[in-house]
Amino acid sequence: MTSIDLISGHPEPVAGPKRKPDWLKVRLPSGPSYEHVLGEVKRLDLHTVCQEAMCPNLGECWGAGTATIMILGDTCTRGCHFCNVKTGSPKGEVDWMEPQRVAQAVAELGWKYLVLTAVDRDDLADGGAAIFANTVRMIHKAVPDAKVECLTGDFAGDLAALDIVLDAEPEVLAHNLETVARLQARVRDRRANYAQSLSILEHAKKSGKVTYTKTSLMLGLGETEDEIAQAMDDARAIGVDIFTMGQYLQPTKRHLTVEEFVTPEKFARLEAVGDAKGFVQVVASPLSRSSYHAEQAFA
């Protein structure tokens, strides 16, 4: 099996001055179970973040009956400086049959926990909230015991749009702060900001319509441990239940460079800090992504 460099997605060189830390190497997924899921995802014309982001945990999560589906197309109206998703205008196009195909996949593949995420759709009046809601309802109808996490954008601060999603009663509403307050302008699109993201999470928690709220940080962008702790405090102050942290990895030379490869030991220390602050679940490791071990919050 081949080890890959998670920065570029290319095979890791055996040796050399630019060799990445050993803890950032994973083996490419393979095997009959993986191939079956991959085939079904292709057949149903679905997009998984697991594949498109070359997630290091793909094999583990698919094997555990979890997945992250990206709805609403592949073109984002935002241009964050860490993200390699295509930026442009989808021109209001929406595939209204997509929720049905997602629900079919959940039923046929036996997924018990599905994360729904999407590109930002500032071209739509509701930011894509209706598609989120329709998908959640169809999944719950097709597989009543399946749990759904909606990892949404900020809907440009439109809480009425967020309510459309919340009314469908996903088990988890997730929205990522992405980075600490000081680095927001450098890391995220100018239309996103720290206060706006906190307002989304606070409104979701106060709605009482979800079991948990959740947020995530990428580390290695120049943040300090004190700033990370402050982000945790800000999240806990508005009732956020789940906090995750993972290593930022530069997708191309056009994107922000990695300032630090955070060690597993530092991640473990930060996880302990989060645990002490009273979160229901804290997930922190170099290979963690916002949806990693998501289902375990319900264990």
The answer to whether residue 285 scores a pLDDT higher than 80 is yes
What pLDDT, in 10s, does the model give residues 108-133?
Answer: 988 888 999 999 999 999 999 999 99
The answer to whether residue 69 scores a pLDDT higher than 50 is yes
The answer to whether residue 65 scores a pLDDT higher than 80 is no
Q: Do residues 161 and 204 make contact, with C-beta atoms less than 8 angstroms apart? A: no
The letter for the amino acid at 71 is I
DSSP, collapsed to helix, strand or coil, labels residue 72 as coil
Using CA atoms, how far apart are residues 104 and 76, in angstroms rounded to an integer? 25
Report pLDDT for 61. 63
- The mean pLDDT of 71-75, rounded to a whole number, is 90
- The mean pLDDT of 229-257, rounded to a whole number, is 94
Report pLDDT for 31. 66
Which of the pair, 176 or 294, is modelled with greater confidence?
Answer: 176
Using CA atoms, how far apart are residues 206 and 220, in angstroms rounded to an integer? 32
Phi, psi of 261 (to 5 degrees): -90, 105
Domains of the chain are 30-298 (3.20.20.70)
